[in-house]
Structure 1
Amino acid sequence: MAEHKYKFDVKMTCGGCRGAVERVLKKTEGISEYSVSLEKQEVLVTGTIEYDDLLAKIKKTGKEVRSGETLI
C-alpha cells in the first residue's frame, strides 16, 4: 500500500492540545511519521492510513480541524 502525506490545520491553543493530538497519532496504525506544530497550528502525517480515517482520529481529540489536504 502506498504512503501518503497529509497536512491538517488544527486549532490548538496549548501544549495539552498538542499532546492530545500526538497521543492519538502515536497509537494509530498505518502512520509511519508525524509532526505536530503548536506554533503553526499544523499536523503533518505520513503513512498508509486513509485520509478519512486519519481525519476522524484527529477529530476524536475534540480539536477543531479547520482544513486538511493530501500532499502526496
Structure 2
Amino acid sequence: MASSPTSLIYEHHAEPIRRHLLRDDVTELVINEPGLIGLETRNGWEWHEEPALDNAALMTLAKLIAGLTKQDIN
C-alpha cells in the first residue's frame, strides 16, 4: 500500500523522534525546549540531545500533527 503525500511529509519531519517512539520501554516523550527530548521509561527519565529539533522543525512538526488530528495550534 502506498503512503499518502501527507504521511510521507509527516514521516520525514518526525524522523528525529522516530527511534524514541519505537522503543518498547518508553511511556512518554516530551520536548520542553528545542534540541532536547525527554523520555519517561520504566526506569525513569532520560534526556537526549537532538540538534535537528530546532524551533523551525518543532513548529513544522506541530503544525503537521495538528493538521492530521484536525486541531489548531497558537
**Higher strand residue share:** 1
Q: Above 0.5 in TM-score?
A: no
**Higher helix residue share:** 2
Q: Which protein, 1 or 2, shows the higher relative CO under an 8 Å CA cutoff with sep ≥ 6?
A: 1
Q: Into which bin does the TM-score normalised by the smaller protein fall?
A: 0.3 to 0.5
Rg (Cα) greater in structure: 2
